Chain A
């Protein structure tokens, strides 16, 4: 299996396996970073409606908010582009303590 230089685990393989088990699945991907963001562009997090998580899009600070957005994306079937940064109220809430900024694309697996 190939890897994408940013992530050793096969998050896509897990997402496919969860989907095959009948789970609702969404995939979140870091698409842009500025400053000292902890995970590079291309890092992935797979989420199920039942609450399973694999991979990461930060050092753990925004995964909760991303999982919430993923549940919305699964419910509506529409992808979302999330922007977490120090100037963002939401980032303050979820605490992107590294001071960086990161954009995360969240898409349901349909």
Chain B
């Protein structure tokens, strides 16, 4: 690889633009797409590789090309700069995620609590409007406060986010479901929410809950059965709660 090609590839990645590196295996000649014009067959293979996020080889005129996509990182938008968010933060980058934390409560959203992470202190509805979650985004609400969680979930349900999770017990979630229905979301939409959030590993501590949430996001991202949302609970019935659940 020429140092110049490497520098251009790294510049595209740093700017979070999708880029595909194409290498002719007979001699190592290389191109970047879509930054360079390419024969239609190569451009199409590059486009498909970005979509599938899988490297592939393609034959053209007796030559084999290696087609290597580099997508921008997936995003996790976390509402609530709480202890669990702090525990999720160091796991995000190694798992291939950029983590953005939203919390208008300035006591929580401080650089000291989340050094090096993108913090937003605007209200979740404004933050979600600015962040525009896409199909490569996960949204997780952790505040337990409907004033903060509900607007974020409302926006997430109107987005193609690949994962939506909400912290709170089954009982809390049943009440939340009722509120989201009032906002016009039907059962199919609400079924996208993973609640209680995270894989059931009987997590107790903040790092354990963070691990369960990150594992569930990875499962959803990789298409594992464990990443499927669970059924929407029935309407809340008053009863005595004897346990504490996440």
Contacts and interface: CB of A to CB of B under 8 A. Distances in A.
Contacts of A32: 57
A13 B6 CA distance: 9
Contact of B55 (A6, A13, A16): A6
Interface of A: 1-6, 8, 12-13, 15-16, 19, 27, 29-32, 40-42, 78-79, 81, 105, 107-110
Interface stretch (B33-41, B66-74, B224-232): B66-74
Interface of B: 1-3, 6-7, 9-10, 13-14, 16, 18-19, 23, 25, 27-28, 53-57, 66, 68-73, 93-96
Contacts of B27: 79
Contacts of B94: 8
Contacts of A81: 25
A15 to B, nearest CB: 7
Contacts of A6: 55
A29 B13 contact: no
A2 B25 contact: no
A16 B6 contact: yes
Q: Is the interface of B mostly helix, strand, loop or mixed?
A: mixed
A19 B13 CA distance: 19
Nearest to B19: A2
Contacts of B25: 31, 81, 105
A16 B7 contact: yes
Smallest CB-CB A-B distances: 7 pairs = A42-B55, A79-B28, A41-B55, A2-B13, A5-B53, A31-B66, A3-B96
A4 B68 contact: yes
B95 A8 contact: yes
Contacts of A30: 55
Given A32-B57, A41-B55, A105-B23, A27 B1 contact: yes
Given A5-B53, A40-B55, A29 B28 contact: no
A6 B9 CA distance: 17
B57 A109 contact: no
Contact of A1 (B13, B28, B53): B13
